[in-house]
Structure 1
Amino acid sequence: MKLHAAAILVIFWLGVFTVHMAKGSVGSQPMRKLRCVSLSTQQLNIRNLVSYEKQQVPVNAIMFITATGIKICVSPNQKWVQAAIKKIDQKRTTKGK
């Protein structure tokens, strides 16, 4: 009887171990790309912005990245946002020369 219970327990733990290994641990999962879900309404200082990413899903947004690595999402329809994108693009082209 004890051998039967031990065998069932071993099979159970092997099943749990197999499922865990198939899913992988949290550390082995690829990093998800950050997405904007809400937008800031404040105008940012263009001089502090070093990069940007365009996003359309789940919301239409521009994610600006500051020199310190902070990511801030804003509406792409604002005039200052278009000016900031143009300024960042100009910096990129002058660095490449």
Structure 2
Amino acid sequence: MKLHAAAILVIFCLGIFTVHTVKGSVGSQSMRKYSCVNLSTQQLNIRNLIGYEMHRVPVQAVMFINTKGIRICVSPNQKWVQSAIRRIDRARTTRGK
């Protein structure tokens, strides 16, 4: 009888551990802090941009980050945007060497 009760207790504890593990892994997935809702129509100074992120939801956009940490969303279809992305990528690869 004691062995039977101990087995049930072990199974119960494993069940609780499994539920907490599954909940933790779902809750630990990161979500974006910022998303693009409005797009700027103004051309930015490419020399002041230090990073970018591609966004598809809720609108397709490129979010540029400037030297002051300000994030600005623009349409990815503009020629200057593609030039800015290439410049940032080049700067990242030269810093990594």
2:72 is the alignment partner of 1:72: yes
SS in 2 for 1:94: helix
SS in 1 for 2:83: helix
Query: 1:1-46 deviations in whole A, cap 9, x for unaligned?
Result: xxxxxxxxxxxxxxxxxxxxxxxxxxxxx88510000000000000
Take 1:63 and 1:33, find their aligned partners in 2: how far apart are those partners?
Answer: 12
Take 1:65 and 1:41, find their aligned partners in 2: how far apart are those partners?
Answer: 16
SS in 1 for 2:90: helix
SS in 2 for 1:91: helix
Match of 1:38 in 2: 38
Match of 1:56 in 2: 56
The CA RMSD measured in Å over matched residues stands at 1.4
Q: Which runs of 5+ in 1 are unaligned?
A: 1-29
Take 2:52 and 2:32, find their aligned partners in 1: how far apart are those partners?
Answer: 17
Q: Which runs of 5+ in 2 are unaligned?
A: 1-29
Percent identity of equivalent pairs: 69
TM (norm. structure 2) is 0.67
Structure 1's consecutive aligned runs of 4 or more residues displaced over 2 angstroms after TM superposition are: none
> How many aligned positions are there?
68
Take 2:73 and 2:67, find their aligned partners in 1: how far apart are those partners?
Answer: 15
Take 1:80 and 1:32, find their aligned partners in 2: how far apart are those partners?
Answer: 25
2:90 is the alignment partner of 1:90: yes
